[in-house]
């Protein structure tokens, strides 16, 4: 994990100097998939024979996905890349390259930007992918009102016709998740409201699921290699909401067992169901398929089953520990709602 930097609002770095610095950092290591990286008008990627390209894009906006007073710049950069890597993991894709468009206020163009790139590039090195290009700009607005805005684009690849889709669930399938749920929401909620900082001593030194989430790329690839009919997406907005999206895409319903949910230590059932930002693969597979206990080194838990969708019946049902079945609302993070 990158060491936190102290943002220095008095030091600024010009666009050309910043580009040279980033190009130097991004060029470390050899990437056979990258024919041409930062320095030209566009990058050149080699498409592996027999594979399809997977492309995802995601915003990381100050005030929405991170706050300067809460998140270190390293955390903001890490989270920016992690969001895109988690999308590739959900498709069973191997990451090939990253592209970043970043707009910053002038006061963040120095040490804060150093920290942001340090966090992003540290995670990129962990997953063996290059930062192959992007754009830098000064964000509009008056001093102290301008916000940092980032758009991350990830390119991955899968064997042709083998990508994991959210539309493949069928009645009778089992529902699984990797890892634990609710940890990111619990970590954020546990930080005192007046000092939400990733360095706050109340957070301890254990896993950092909110500030430094770990995308399950290896688990996604391992899941795809099982060779079975599998529906998958990542839990970014909350288990209930993301499962609802899978059910809608597949034309099915689902029942979840509260007693089987792998709730992270210190988290509540509600945080596990709707907290979001767990970035764990949520997937279905035929019930007869022998599922490994771990995928990519991460534990797997069966949490329910897929049912036939019925008119005037709830799409999602939660089986409580006392045996009662209750409709489960598709709660979670949703823009404009």
Find the CATH number of the domain harbouring 253. 3.90.650.10
Q: What is the pLDDT of residue 147?
A: 93
Q: What is the pLDDT of residue 6?
A: 47
Residue 200 and residue 152 share a domain: no
**What tokens appear for 161 in the block?**
């016709």
Domain end (from 104, 127, 159): 159
Residue 181 and residue 73 share a domain: no
15-36 mean pLDDT: 75
Distance CA 169, CA 242 (A): 13
Q: What are residue 223's phi and psi, to 5 degrees?
A: -65, -45
Find the CATH number of the domain harbouring 46. 3.30.1330.10
Distance CA 246, CA 256 (A): 14
SS (HEC) of 243-296: HHHHHHHHCEEEEEEHHHCCECCCCCHHHHHHCCCCCCEEEEEECCCCCCCEEC
Residue 337 in domain: no
Domain that holds residue 209: 173-327
Q: What is the pLDDT of residue 155?
A: 97
Residue 21 in domain: no
Residue 12 in domain: no
Residue 64 in domain: yes
Please determine, for residue 333, whether its predicted confidence score (pLDDT) is greater than 90.
Answer: no
Q: Are 171 and 61 in contact (CB under 8 A)?
A: no
Residue 126 and residue 61 share a domain: yes
Distance CA 333, CA 187 (A): 17
Q: What is the pTM of this model?
A: 0.89
Residue 150 and residue 180 share a domain: no
Distance CA 223, CA 298 (A): 11
Residue 25 in domain: no
Residue 179 and residue 145 share a domain: no
Please determine, for residue 11, whether its predicted confidence score (pLDDT) is greater than 70.
Answer: no
> Looking at the 3D structure of the chain, how many domains does it have?
2
Residue 312 and residue 195 share a domain: yes
Residue 165 is given by DSSP the state: B
Distance CA 175, CA 293 (A): 14
Residue 312 and residue 188 share a domain: yes
Separate counts of helices (H) and strands (E) for the chain: 7, 14
Residue 151 and residue 295 share a domain: no
Residue 213 and residue 137 share a domain: no
Residue 239 in domain: yes
Task: Return the SS3 of 183.
Answer: helix
Ramachandran category for residue 197: left, alpha or beta (phi over 0 → left; psi -120 to 50 → alpha): beta
170-207 burial code (b ≥16 CB/10 A, e <16): eeebbbbbbbbbbbbbbbbbebeeeebbbeeeebeeeb
Mind listing the pLDDT tens digit for each residue in 286-307? 999 999 999 999 999 999 999 9
Residue 27 in domain: no
DSSP percent split of the chain into helix, strand, coil, nearest 5: 25, 30, 45
Residue 28 in domain: no
Q: Are 265 and 257 in contact (CB under 8 A)?
A: no
Q: How far is CA 211 from the centre of its chain?
A: 12
Q: What is the pLDDT of residue 199?
A: 52
Residue 217 and residue 151 share a domain: no
Mind listing the pLDDT tens digit for each residue in 26-58? 765 678 888 888 888 888 999 889 999 999 999
Residue 250 and residue 211 share a domain: yes
Dihedral angle, C-alpha 199, 200, 204, 205, nearest 10 °: 0
């Amino acid at each position: 994990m990158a060491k936190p930097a102290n943002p220095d609002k008095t030091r600024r770095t010009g666009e050309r100097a910043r580009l040279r610095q980033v190009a130097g950092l991004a060029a470390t290591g050899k990437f056979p998939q990258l024919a041409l990286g930062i320095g030209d008008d566009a990058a050149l990627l080699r498409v592996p024979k027999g594979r399809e390209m997977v492309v995802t894009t995601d915003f990381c906006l100050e005030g929405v996905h991170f706050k300067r007073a809460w998140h270190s710049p390293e955390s903001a950069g890490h989270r920016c890349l992690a969001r895109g890597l988690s999308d590739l993991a959900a498709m069973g894709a191997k990451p090939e390259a990253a592209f970043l468009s970043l707009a910053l206020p002038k006061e963040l163009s120095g040490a804060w930007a150093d920290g942001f790139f340090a966090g992003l590039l540290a995670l990129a090195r962990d997953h063996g992918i290059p930062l192959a290009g992007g754009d830098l700009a000064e964000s509009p607005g008056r001093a102290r009102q301008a916000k940092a805005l980032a758009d991350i684009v990830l390119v991955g690849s899968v064997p042709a016709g083998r990508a994991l889709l959210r539309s493949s669930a069928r009645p009778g399938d089992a529902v699984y998740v990797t890892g634990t749920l609710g940890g990111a929401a619990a970590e954020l909620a546990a930080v005192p409201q007046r000092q939400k900082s990733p360095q706050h001593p109340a957070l301890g030194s254990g896993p950092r699921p909110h500030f430094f989430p770990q995308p399950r790329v290896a688990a996604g690839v391992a899941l795809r290699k099982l060779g079975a009919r599998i529906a998958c997406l990542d839990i970014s907005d909350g288990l209930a909401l993301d499962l609802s999206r899978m059910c809608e895409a597949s034309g099915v319903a689902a029942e979840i067992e509260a007693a089987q949910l792998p709730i992270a230590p210190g988290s509540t059932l509600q945080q596990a169901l709707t907290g979001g930002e767990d970035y764990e693969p949520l997937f279905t597979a035929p019930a007869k398929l022998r599922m490994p206990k771990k995928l990519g080194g991460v534990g797997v838990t069966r949490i329910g089953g897929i049912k036939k969708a019925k008119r005037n019946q709830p799409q999602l049902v939660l089986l409580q520990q006392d045996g009662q079945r209750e409709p489960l609302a598709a709660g979670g993070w949703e823009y404009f709602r």
